[in-house]
Chains A and B, each alone.
Chain A
Amino acid sequence: MRLEIKKTYKLFIGGKFPRSESGRVYKINNHKGDFLANVAKASRKDVRDSVVAARAAQSGWAGASAYNRGQVLYRIAEMLEGRRDQFVAEIRELTGKSERQANQEVDNAIDSWVWHAGWTDKIESVAGNMNPVAGPFFNISTNQPTGVVAAFAPQDSPLVGLVNTIAPVIVSGNSVVVVTSESLPLSAVTLAEVLETSDLPGGVVNILTGNAKELGSWLASHMDVNAIDLEGTANAAELEILAAENLKRVVRPGIYSRTAAKGTLQHILDFMEVKTVWHPKGN
């Protein structure tokens, strides 16, 4: 009988799969309580490395054409579809969900990537403006990604909640450092493998497994993070205070549903900045 090869669940930083710099892991059991895996427990240093990687990747990703970003996001959906059995199996093992429920979660995750992929080159058509100012000026407002976003995925969802946390951030050209559900992290690591093979530039999405409370203060107080999504945190008010130090844009918990096969434009726009450009008209 052949001995099965088990997966080592690591972090995803800058397009690579390092262990936690701290060397720490924590134990994940399946829904029956049996040992399933040792998962990397990210540290403050991993947070800082992730922000550096996210910052380095951001301008290139924002500078890619909207058409190109749309194709990359669609490619993520393709790759996820191709590995759906693995996700279904992981979700069932971890949560004890039925096959139908697990399939529904994976369906929604894939379809949400497709929904977001289609937005990349439509955000401006809907949320930008040519402004009729009272003078001889060309005046236009466009939306630009805010930069590096820290996000906490919902704790109760292994996959679709994570996808609906990442996708609205990166669709417009932001990069993200996302902290996964602490107790349901396996799909996140598998999702990282999907992202790594989807032509997404390294560093655009950085995935940390570990404790949201511990990592939260480092991310919320990081001065090179522009916005923060507090969905999966239990101490959101505390983190919002830390985030105020450099006026991070804050998405409070419970504002947006993360379980559907699509998101909302407002969620996407929360991580964008309106820029208005004036130029005189003349001869």
Chain B
Amino acid sequence: MFDYAPAPESRDLVKFQESYGHFIGGKFTKPSNTYGTINPATEETLAQISHGTAKDVDAAVKAARNAYEKTWSKLDGATRGKYLYRIARIIQERSRELAVAETLNNGKPIKETRDADIPLAASWFFYYAGWADKLDYAGLGPNPVAHGVAAQVVPWNFPLMMLAWKIAPALAAGNTVVLKPAETTPLSALLFAEICQQAELPDGVVNIVTGFGDTGAALIDHNDINKVAFTGSTNVGRIIAKQIAGTNKKATLELGGKAANIVFEDAALDQAVEGIVNGIFFNQGHVCCAGSRLLVQESVQDVLIKKLKARMENIRLGDPMDKNTDIGAINSKAQLTKIDKLVKQGVKEGGQSWAPNCPMPKNGFWFAPTIITGVAPTNTVAREEIFGPVLSVMTFRTPAEAVAKANNTQYGLSAGVWTEKGSRILKMADQLNAGVVWANTYNQFDPASPFGGFKESGYGREGGRHGLLSYLKGSN
């Protein structure tokens, strides 16, 4: 075996301010009610962040409403599009800085922020920029209209990318927004606020209020918002759906998942192993569409698990800033505790847990890539979203059994199918109750491609023409 020399990205590419206020009406407010945001790989405090109150939320919604009435809804689509193009370009120009910021605040490997999070965020703005003056073609008839003010709450697993998924289509459709980033990962959103200033986006079109769950709840609850977009856990999604019951607020909810990644005996097994690893260990498994349930055809179970373990021995866990790192830090201590507890539960219920022998850094939050074999469909680790680098392995004999087991979940966000047989792929894709089906690939994302779930994985779509529709209504 070869050892890798350290290849750290430069920490100096980004400079955070000591403390941040909210971004309201085009300006940063004075920091108040602050808490520290950390680097989960080192536990070092990066900056002080303001914990938004209902009063801050109200100021932000007022700014968004004002911008909607006076500026943004009066601009022609082409001009709105030009602002989005500007934002896309600035994200591209500042991509190295943003990648470092994201890795420092989130703990994910720099190669992922560099190659996935930041380029996808830029591409989302570039894609939706082009829609802004073509709304008549969105599918709602001529002259569709925006909802007004959109309240958007995003999670910590892809902070800037999720922001882009929310803000780009909202602005293209003519809405103004108030966005709350996750409490543990606010920094890239605050850098994005600076980008809005650099792009000379009219004041109040984008507002960012930082804080915790209570800040988000105050935002969703606000009387003067018209649209809710939330990505996060199914439990919070449920609370939001109840909160907006009986109002005119429209919601897009992108919630949890427990995706089946199904490997048939005729699959290209080496490719499937890469897909399994990418499916569950990408972003430390902090992915709602992670392929967290491996369903392998019984006849190839032994050979596949052997290949998978051999591959896992070569996964590099450690410093997220190192360009060779595959698995970075778990985003928070709370999440680490949850993962640990669920894996212990899985073992208690009869599963066999295995992880490669990888050294763990002293500080920060870490969890080794883990597989649990011998899992029954009723086990906790087969049903609950772990949101960590933990794969539950089950077997099947026939395609019908694979479909039944794959669909036997409250979730329906995504699924994977590995087989060399084209007709089987198409039939499986028809039968799987999931919003995204990856066949002989996994975890692909693109601004032109709609994303979102069936059942308790939420409703509405983000991405593509369908994602645009979430921010528009027909004019009648």
Give the secondary structure class of A's interface.
Answer: mixed
Judged by a CB distance under 8 angstroms, whether B237 is at the interface is: yes
Contacts of B352 in A (CB 8 A): none
Contacts of A64 in B (CB 8 A): none
Judged by a CB distance under 8 angstroms, whether B444 is at the interface is: yes
Judged by a CB distance under 8 angstroms, whether B455 is at the interface is: yes
A274 x B435 contact (CB < 8 A): yes
Judged by a CB distance under 8 angstroms, whether B365 is at the interface is: no
A137 x B466 contact (CB < 8 A): no
A274 x B448 contact (CB < 8 A): no
Please, how many angstroms separate the alpha-carbon atoms of A241 and B242 in the complex? 5
B459 x A247 contact (CB < 8 A): yes
The closest CB in chain A to the CB of B446 belongs to A133
Judged by a CB distance under 8 angstroms, whether B54 is at the interface is: no
Judged by a CB distance under 8 angstroms, whether B464 is at the interface is: yes
B245 x A276 contact (CB < 8 A): no
Please, how many angstroms separate the alpha-carbon atoms of A277 and B441 in the complex? 10
A135 x B238 contact (CB < 8 A): no
Stretch at the interface among A35-43, A74-82, A106-114, A123-131: A123-131
Interface residues of A in 24-43 (CB under 8 A from B): none
B455 x A279 contact (CB < 8 A): no
Contacts of B450 in A (CB 8 A): 129, 131, 141, 274, 276
Known contacts: A273-B454, A275-B435, A279-B439. The answer to whether A141 contacts B466 by CB under 8 A is yes
Among B440, B458, B459: residue with most chain A CB under 10 A: B459
A247 x B435 contact (CB < 8 A): no
A134 x B464 contact (CB < 8 A): no
- Write out, one digit per residue, whether chain A residues 226-259 have a CB within 8 A of any chain B CB (1) or not (0): 1000000000111011011111010010000000
Judged by a CB distance under 8 angstroms, whether B234 is at the interface is: yes
Please, how many angstroms separate the alpha-carbon atoms of A247 and B257 in the complex? 13
Judged by a CB distance under 8 angstroms, whether A22 is at the interface is: no
Judged by a CB distance under 8 angstroms, whether B45 is at the interface is: no
Please, how many angstroms separate the alpha-carbon atoms of A277 and B439 in the complex? 7
Chain B nearest Cβ from A109, distance in angstroms: 23
Contacts of A131 in B (CB 8 A): 446, 448-450, 464
Chain B nearest Cβ from A141, distance in angstroms: 5
Judged by a CB distance under 8 angstroms, whether A266 is at the interface is: yes
Judged by a CB distance under 8 angstroms, whether B185 is at the interface is: no
Please, how many angstroms separate the alpha-carbon atoms of A8 and B338 in the complex? 58
Please, how many angstroms separate the alpha-carbon atoms of A141 and B456 in the complex? 20
Judged by a CB distance under 8 angstroms, whether B398 is at the interface is: no
Judged by a CB distance under 8 angstroms, whether A278 is at the interface is: yes
A279 x B441 contact (CB < 8 A): yes
Please, how many angstroms separate the alpha-carbon atoms of A54 and B246 in the complex? 27
The closest CB in chain A to the CB of B414 belongs to A276
Judged by a CB distance under 8 angstroms, whether A146 is at the interface is: yes
Please, how many angstroms separate the alpha-carbon atoms of A36 and B148 in the complex? 51
Contacts of B474 in A (CB 8 A): 266
A247 x B448 contact (CB < 8 A): no
Judged by a CB distance under 8 angstroms, whether A280 is at the interface is: yes
Interchain CB contact (< 8 A) of A139 among B434, B449, B455: B449
Judged by a CB distance under 8 angstroms, whether A132 is at the interface is: yes
Contacts of A241 in B (CB 8 A): 242, 245-246
Interchain CB contact (< 8 A) of B123 among A134, A238, A245, A247: A134
Contacts of B237 in A (CB 8 A): 247
Interchain CB contact (< 8 A) of B449 among A127, A240, A276: A276
Chain B nearest Cβ from A224, distance in angstroms: 11
Please, how many angstroms separate the alpha-carbon atoms of A241 and B410 in the complex? 18
Chain B nearest Cβ from A53, distance in angstroms: 20
Judged by a CB distance under 8 angstroms, whether B371 is at the interface is: no
Chain B nearest Cβ from A145, distance in angstroms: 11
Among B436, B449, B465, B474: residue with most chain A CB under 10 A: B449
Chain B nearest Cβ from A129, distance in angstroms: 6
- Write out, one digit per residue, whether chain A residues 147-171 have a CB within 8 A of any chain B CB (1) or not (0): 0000000000000000000000000
B429 x A277 contact (CB < 8 A): yes
A249 x B438 contact (CB < 8 A): no
Please list 23 pairs of residues, one from A and one from B, whose beta carbons are closer than 8 Å in the complex, sorted by A's number.
A127-B139, A132-B448, A133-B444, A134-B448, A137-B441, A141-B450, A141-B466, A237-B245, A238-B246, A240-B241, A241-B246, A243-B245, A244-B245, A247-B237, A247-B241, A247-B255, A247-B455, A275-B429, A275-B435, A275-B436, A277-B436, A278-B441, A278-B444
Besides A139-B448, A141-B450, A275-B434, 15 other CB < 8 A contacts? Answer: A129-B464, A133-B446, A139-B446, A241-B245, A249-B459, A266-B474, A274-B466, A275-B429, A276-B436, A276-B449, A276-B451, A278-B436, A278-B439, A278-B441, A279-B439
Task: List chain B positions with a Cβ less than 8 A from chain A.
Answer: 123, 139-140, 234, 237-238, 241-242, 245-246, 248, 253, 255, 410, 412, 425, 429, 434-441, 444, 446, 448-452, 454-459, 461, 464-466, 474
Going nearest first, the 5 A-B pairs with the smallest beta carbon separation are: A237-B246, A244-B241, A240-B245, A133-B446, A279-B439
